Amino acid sequence: MSNKPLTLAEKVWNNHLVARGENGSPDLLYIDLHLVHEVTSPQAFDGLRLAGRPVRRPDLTIATEDHNTPTWNIDKPIADPTSRTQIQTLRNNAAEFGIRIHSLGDVNQGIVHVVGPQLGLTMPGITVVCGDSHTSTHGAFGALAMGIGTSEVEHVLATQTLPLKPFKTMAINVDGVLRPGVTAKDIILAIIAKIGTGGGQGYVLEYRGSAIRALSMEARMTICNMSIEAGARAGMVAPDQITYDYLAGRPHAPEGSDWADAVAYWNTLPSDEGAVYDAEVHLDANTLDPFVTWGTNPGQGVSLLDTVPNPADIADPNERAAAERALEYMDLVAGTPMKQIAVDTVFLGSCTNSRIEDLRAAASIIKGKTKAEGVRMLVVPGSAKVRLEAEAEGLDKVFKEFGAEWRFAGCSMCLGMNPDQLAPGERAASTSNRNFEGRQGKGARTHLVSPLVAAATAIRGTLSSPSDLLDGADSNAGVN
């Protein structure tokens, strides 16, 4: 072994090498944890059946129902036949192949990326895969976590390994102190606006710097979650005491001497002094404002204090054309202050922002306030457990008194595979991660925002930050 300084991602990669690829063929990596949901798994299980192969490690595999699940009347049969079939198929496959499943009604049912960390299964220095692009979420623990396709799901089920091509590394340094009202979501939206939706292609991103170190685990998950929106293979944050404290005592966290062994190993994971990244990006946390999107990809974002950009000012012809098309779809006029954009719906949920801290943050803003007339607000906890936790704290009452709909757990309006959709032309402030055309419903218009901005927007009816709620603070001057 050479003593070349290594990055966090390289260390985790090397630690999972089953076979090194020769002559340009991929490396074979061991997979510590495989998360499964109903949408991308049916054909993978069918493939196993056709080939007569078992699941190699049911004890490293776990399934939950999330994309198709209804968020109310969960005790009734699912109305949509496709959704019902996908969920029933997952249940049958789990039973046939001996896989643990958390079904609708179970306390650990919920969005797959909320459930893994909640159970303490997601931990530093492991490899995590799931047939879902937002698997990058788990990188917040210092795990190498990647989204995979259905044939790869079958491959992992059969072999617990995955052939993977080497990646490049990018350091994203975020230094400074966030101003009040500015959160992890604003950091990641600003990063994607800066490097573009293809800026991370081929890279594993490592988020570093004082502003990242100061974030809670759930905030780090928000950041890693959207790595894929920058085109990256994965996103990671080095583990530290905050990570260990969050993990300790969770159902599947290591215990006793295992915990001591694990921490000893985890302490070796942070990137070495002098480790070389293939690319580096810097972001100043001190000057960051709440960030929102105006267009139809997550890179089309600006400060909330800014205006809708003018495509004519964009030099790159492709980006200019994309901006023109986005403004038309979004029905926005260049130069309009972002704060004047009125919304119909506010969606608080998705694997980006549906954990207990997100619900607490939004509840703290709306408590005792009245919802803007005509605005509908949906609050969808990330898991049944988060929902119970919120109810134990009385957050459900805060939301209900405010006039928001308090729903059951699932992906919900993040992608509208269940009945939670926007009508054509409707506009939403959404704490999710994708503002693609039609993502939240045919013809629907999405502005990606943080939970704090979502809450303030629900009160004022137009895109707003909590500072806008202060007396007389109706101007565009950000309040610290």
Partner 1 sequence: MQKFEVFSGVAVPLRRSNVDTDQIIPAVYLKRITKTGFEDALFAAWRGDAEFILNQPAYAGAEVLIAGPDFGTGSSREHAVWALCDYGFKAVFSSKFADIFRGNAGKQGLVAGVISDEDTEKLWAAIEANPGSQVEVNLVDRTATIGSLTVTFEIDDYTRWRLLEGLDDIGLTLRDEQAIVDFEAKRESWRPKTLPAKGV
Which residues bind to ligand SF4, rule: CB under 6 A? 66-67, 111, 113, 132, 134, 350-351, 411, 414-415, 432-433
Q: Report if residue 226 touches partner 1, rule: CB under 8 A.
A: no
Q: Report if residue 91 touches partner 1, rule: CB under 8 A.
A: no
Cβ pair 205, 235 in contact under 8 A: yes
User: What is the full DSSP assignment across 89-155?
Assistant: HHHHHHHHHT-EEE-TTSTT-B-HHHHHHHTT---TT-EEEESSGGGGGGGGGT-EEEE--HHHHHH
CB of 261 to partner 1, least distance (A): 5
Look at residue 328 and give the partner it binds from partner 1, ligand SF4, none, a contact being a CB closer than 5 to 8 Å depending on partner kind: none
Q: Report if residue 278 touches partner 1, rule: CB under 8 A.
A: no
Look at residue 122 and give the partner it binds from partner 1, ligand SF4, none, a contact being a CB closer than 5 to 8 Å depending on partner kind: partner 1
Query: Which residues are CB-neighbours of 357 under 8 A, at least 6 positions away?
Result: 216, 218, 219
Q: Which structure tokens are listed for 47?
A: 């493939």
Look at residue 388 and give the partner it binds from ligand SF4, partner 1, none, a contact being a CB closer than 5 to 8 Å depending on partner kind: none
Phi first, then psi: give them for residue 5, nearest 5 degrees: -60, 135
Q: Report if residue 53 touches partner 1, rule: CB under 8 A.
A: yes
CB of 135 to partner 1, least distance (A): 14
Burial class (CB in 10 A: 0-12, 13-18, 19+), 279: middle
CB of 226 to ligand SF4, least distance (A): 9
Q: Report if residue 216 touches partner 1, rule: CB under 8 A.
A: no
CB of 263 to ligand SF4, least distance (A): 30
Residue 65 CA to residue 313 CA, distance in Å, equals: 45
> In which element (H, E) is residue 327 found?
helix 317-330
Q: Report if residue 446 touches partner 1, rule: CB under 8 A.
A: no
Cβ pair 113, 351 in contact under 8 A: yes
List the one residue from 37, 55, 61, 69 that touches partner 1 (CB under 8 A). 61
Bridge partners of 302, per DSSP, are 292
Phi first, then psi: give them for residue 326, nearest 5 degrees: -65, -45
Which one of the spans 183-191, 207-215, 247-255, 442-450 is the region binding partner 1 (CB under 8 A)? 247-255
Q: 382-408: string of b/e by CB count within 10 Å (b at 16+)?
A: bbbbbbebbeeeebbebbeebbbebbb
Look at residue 333 and give the partner it binds from ligand SF4, partner 1, none, a contact being a CB closer than 5 to 8 Å depending on partner kind: none
The strand pair at 234-236 and 203-208 is best described as parallel
Q: Report if residue 161 touches partner 1, rule: CB under 8 A.
A: yes
CB of 327 to ligand SF4, least distance (A): 25
Q: Which of 173, 165, 169 is nearest to 9 (CA)?
A: 169
3-state secondary structure of 203: strand
CB of 154 to ligand SF4, least distance (A): 20
Of 183 and 353, which CB lies nearer to ligand SF4 in the complex structure? 353
Which one of the spans 69-77, 260-268, 330-338, 401-409 is the region binding partner 1 (CB under 8 A)? 260-268
Burial class (CB in 10 A: 0-12, 13-18, 19+), 479: middle
CB of 169 to ligand SF4, least distance (A): 24
Cβ pair 96, 70 in contact under 8 A: no
CB of 389 to partner 1, least distance (A): 13
Of 265 and 329, which CB lies nearer to partner 1 in the complex structure? 265
Look at residue 27 and give the partner it binds from ligand SF4, partner 1, none, a contact being a CB closer than 5 to 8 Å depending on partner kind: none
Q: How crowded is residue 461: how many other Cβ atoms within 10 Å of its Cβ?
A: 17
Look at residue 159 and give the partner it binds from ligand SF4, partner 1, none, a contact being a CB closer than 5 to 8 Å depending on partner kind: partner 1
Look at residue 67 and give the partner it binds from ligand SF4, partner 1, none, a contact being a CB closer than 5 to 8 Å depending on partner kind: ligand SF4
Q: Give contact residues for partner 1 (rule: CB under 8 A).
A: 18-19, 25, 28, 30, 32-33, 42-43, 46-47, 50-51, 53, 58-62, 82, 85-86, 89, 100, 102, 106-108, 119-123, 126, 149-151, 154-155, 158-161, 163, 250-252, 254, 258-259, 261-262, 265
